[in-house]
Amino acid sequence: MSDNWDSEIIEALMSLDEDSLMKKVESALSRGISPLEILRKAITKGMQIVGEKYETGEFFLMHLMVIGESVKNVMDKLLLPALQKEGVKESNSEGTIVIGTVEGDIHDIGKNIVASMLLTAGFKVIDLGKDVNCDVFIQKALEYNADIIGVSALLSTTMIGQRKLIEELKKRNIRDKFKILIGGAPTSPAWAEEIGADGYAKDAVEAVKIAKQLLKKR
Ligand code: B12
């Protein structure tokens, strides 16, 4: 692998060849490149390009599905274990976060990265998965006495689920029990403010930073 390890990974990702993607990522890791750098410079960037190609009609749903599956496998088999090996703290004492992707939305690659980074940073993480109903978020947050509820949305049509959760917490008079941290590509600081969330993060590194800040405000 040359110095262009990032463009080589992106190329493998675009070619729909999972074996080649695995090998390129494995090779970058064995050269000492950090899993976080691989995520930022190659995987996330590659996924952005995939999204753009889908928008312009160059890629179809089939591409999103095959590439999404390959990235999920690379994450599960190589990058998440490497991330955890790099930094898992002895005790998960930073705080407890219940995290999931909103109802109607099955995108979970980004949410999984956030969950993993929080775990690595010392949080206790309860990952509810994807397509999570508002009641389940609340039920689990109460059950685990969570400090933070992390809510991911990747579709402009499902972002509304983040607002619904906050409204529901207010209705039940338990809004102040939890800090709400939102994220996902179509969301923004302005959206967080509009719906009354406590924090927004654009990526997993920022998510850890904001989660720590939110705990200090409790
Ligand atoms: C892979 C993919 C899929 C895969 C998902 C596989 C999986 N297991 O996740 C599959 C094929 C299933 C899929 C399906 C669909 N998809 Co899709 N998909 C994508 C794609 C290409 C990449 C998403 C991704 O994984 N990005 C990489 C990760 C690392 O980034 P991320 O998710 O943004 O996460 C980061 C941050 O947002 C943040 N973050 C994320 N979650 C959270 C949570 C918290 C609490 C915090 C703090 C931060 C945070 O941190 C993460 C790490 O840095 C995007 C394009 C894009 N670039 O977003 C389209 C995209 C999201 N999909 C899109 C569409 C339209 C669909 C479909 C409706 C297509 C269809 N016609 O059926 C379906 C929807 C199905 C459903 N009901 O959910 C559109 C959405 C348009 C919109 N604005 O609404 C996009 C933007 C493509 C496009 N350009 O048109 N998709």
Of 8-12, 41-45, 119-123, where does the model show the most confidence? 8-12
Q: What is the pLDDT of residue 72?
A: 87
Report pLDDT digits (tens) over 126-169: 999 999 999 999 999 999 999 999 999 999 999 999 999 999 99
Atom of ligand 1 minimally distant from the CA of 48? 57
What is the pTM (predicted TM-score) of this model? 0.90
Domains and CATH numbers, the chain: 5-87 (1.10.1240.10), 96-216 (3.40.50.280)
Instruction: Classify each residue of 97-121 as buried b or exposed e, where b means 16 or more C-beta atoms within 10 Å of its C-beta.
Output: bbbbbbbebebbbbbbbbbbbbbbb
Q: What is the pLDDT of residue 88?
A: 53
CA distance 153 to 2: 36
Our answer on whether the CB atom of 206 is closer than 6 Å to any ligand 1 atom is no
| Residue nearest ligand 1's atom 10 by CA | 65
Centre of ligand 1 from the C-alpha of residue 93, in Å? 31
Our answer on whether the CB atom of 100 is closer than 6 Å to any ligand 1 atom is no
Our answer on whether the CB atom of 88 is closer than 6 Å to any ligand 1 atom is no
Our answer on whether the CB atom of 44 is closer than 6 Å to any ligand 1 atom is yes
Our answer on whether the CB atom of 191 is closer than 6 Å to any ligand 1 atom is no
Q: What is the pLDDT of residue 87?
A: 63
Contacts of 46 (CB under 8 A, 6+ apart): 9, 10, 13, 14
Centre of ligand 1 from the C-alpha of residue 146, in Å? 26
Tokens of 102: 């909103």
Q: Which of 107, 147, 152, 198 to mutate to test the pocket of ligand 1 (most atoms within 8 A of CB)?
A: 107
Return mean pLDDT, the chain.
Answer: 92
| Residue nearest ligand 1's atom 61 by CA | 154
| Residue nearest ligand 1's atom 88 by CA | 51
Q: Is the pLDDT of residue 2 over 90?
A: no
Q: Between 110 and 205, where is the model more confident?
A: 110
Our answer on whether the CB atom of 101 is closer than 6 Å to any ligand 1 atom is no
